[in-house]
Amino acid sequence: MRAILLAAGRGSRLGELTEEEPKCRTMLLGKRLIDRQLEALRAAGIREIAIVRGYRAERIQVEDVTYYTNAQWSDTNMVASLCCAASWLEQGPCLVSYTDIVYSQSAIELLLRGAPDADIAIPYSTQWRALWEARFDDPLTDAETFRLTANGDVAEIGGVPATLEEVEGQFMGLLRLTPAGWRTIRKFLDGCSASEQARMDVTSLLAGLLGQGEAIAALPYEGLWLEVDRASDLHLYEQRYRRVL
């Protein structure tokens, strides 16, 4: 199994922390975010890793990885970065990871073994609410809808929830794709305009696939997962998660 890290963006909401560094090189308790992801992947046995770079690409230097470049990083979103690694996605199954998140080896192991027949699979955090209550005054702030079908697949993702009942978990920024899953995505994107493709994020992509009746397997995850979006997140995690990080 290969893994692709999407590290093209700057992360402007982190302010001066990303003036000279891409977001993935943000420090959390003495370790860069991207190094934490690489450690989790390698601990789970992933040896072939690609990184899609963009903003301050020269600052991302890792041994024994393949690089792709999203030269349009300032005008595009995550899906455009994913498309830069199309050659890998066409060749064999791949794990895909955001680079502004923190997770443990167990999250990767779950994604490797869960729903083995699925062409598109995502883990979701069942413990999201405690994290959101610590980050926001209202846990519905910045949360997205996430609902499951009767058989446990994804039924809805990426909307704006009005109630907590609409949030059965949170997408973690991790997914697994087979070549067939990637072909399904390419077919969907071919039906979108260039501007739609450029601004599309992964949750919007997944929601679009669901809208066309495609199946997305959902894997419940109870372990460590953090999202780094603002400087206040870093301060919170340094205080609350020091023992586990």
User: 108: how many CB neighbours lie within 10 A of its CB?
Assistant: 25
Tokens coding 221 = 């995850």
User: 196: how many CB neighbours lie within 10 A of its CB?
Assistant: 13
Residue-wise pLDDT for 43-73, tens only, equals 999 999 999 999 999 999 999 999 999 999 9
Local confidence band at 15 (pLDDT 50, 70, 90 cut-offs) = confident
Average pLDDT, whole number, for the chain? 95
241 vs 176, which has greater pLDDT?
Answer: 176
CA–CA gap between residue 229 and residue 130 (Å, rounded): 17
